[in-house]
Structures are given as C-alpha cells and as structure tokens.
Amino acid sequence: MPYQTEFSDIAYPDETGRPCALTFRIAITASSDRLAVVHMRHSNPAFQSPMSSYIVRDRILNRILDNHLRGMPLKSVRLVVEDGEETAMFPIEVDFHDYIERRNPHEATPVATGRVLFTQRVKIRSEFVLAGLTRVHTSHSKPVAVPKDIARSTMIG
C-alpha cells in the first residue's frame, strides 16, 4: 500500500532572489522497488515554477533531500513536478564534484593521458550516494512522463 505525507508549504527564492512558495509532499510507492517520490505542486502563476526553472527546481529539491530524506539512497528517490495541468518526472543527477569534495566514498585511479598529463578515473557505487550528503541537480534532465506506479502513489493523472 502506498503512503504519502500531507502537502507542506515551502518558501524558496526564484532566480532573482524574490520570495516564492509552493507545496510538496513525499510519497512512498508500493512497488517491490520501493521508491520515495518528491512531489512538488506549483499553483501560483505569480511565482517562478520548478517546471520551467532548473535553478528553482534544484534549490527546492536539495532542501527537501537534506531536511526530509537525508541518508536515503538517492537511487530510490524520484522527482515529480506538477504545474497546473502539466506533470513531469525529472531524472536526478549527482553533482560528482560536490560528492568527491565532501569526501564521500569513491575510488580514484590516476590515468596517463599524454607525456606528462594525468587525469583521474573515479568510481562511485550507487549505494553510497545518499540524499542530503551531496548536492544533486536536474539542469541536464529532460522531463519525462510519470510512470504509472509513481502516478498512482502520488495520485496524479
């Protein structure tokens, strides 16, 4: 049986720093691969929407991950954004520079790329990437249709 929290308000700055607000909740799917779904619902057209701005979307998402889902494996978290009649899921990407800078578990191997040039090959195991312990972003993510199991858990569509 899926579970979902009540909608909560969250205030956030838009791209210019002006205050805005929307509601969000967290839903848990009933599928065998139990997922935590962050569901953002934007309803006030006077405020900048996370549907149209990855900067806004990432600011809100990182706060929710840090404050509500900290320590949960990021591979089990999904993001759904609802804006009026439009609903989409955005893939969540790890900020690998931030992940390594925060000294999260990883393996780095030097690799020679030229006469005196070296680079590093970095390996990160997905189970070590935890919500709230590194920044995430959706700036390169293309919105996709919300899968049926996730739509059912969030009562969308």
Overall number of domains in the chain: 1
φ/ψ of 121, rounded to 5, equals -100, 125
Whether 69 is covered by a domain: the verdict is yes
Count of Cβ atoms closer than 10 Å to residue 71 Cβ? 9
Evaluate whether residue 35 is within a structural domain: yes
Give the pLDDT confidence score for residue 123 in this predicted structure: 80
Q: Which residues of the chain have pLDDT under 70?
A: 1, 157
| Domain contains 119 | no
In a domain, 118, yes or no: no
Q: Is residue 116 part of a domain?
A: no
Q: Is residue 51 part of a domain?
A: yes
Query: Using CB atoms within 10 A of its CB, is residue 104 exposed (0-12), middle (13-18) or buried (19+)?
Result: middle
pLDDT of residue 1: 55
10 falls within a domain: yes
Whole-model pTM: value is: 0.87
Domain ranges, residue 40: 3-94+131-154
Whether 67 is in a domain gets the answer yes
Report the C-alpha gap between 28 and 35 in whole angstroms: 6
User: What is residue 157's predicted lDDT score, i.e. its pLDDT?
Assistant: 55
Query: How much is the pLDDT for 86?
Result: 95
pLDDT at 40: 98
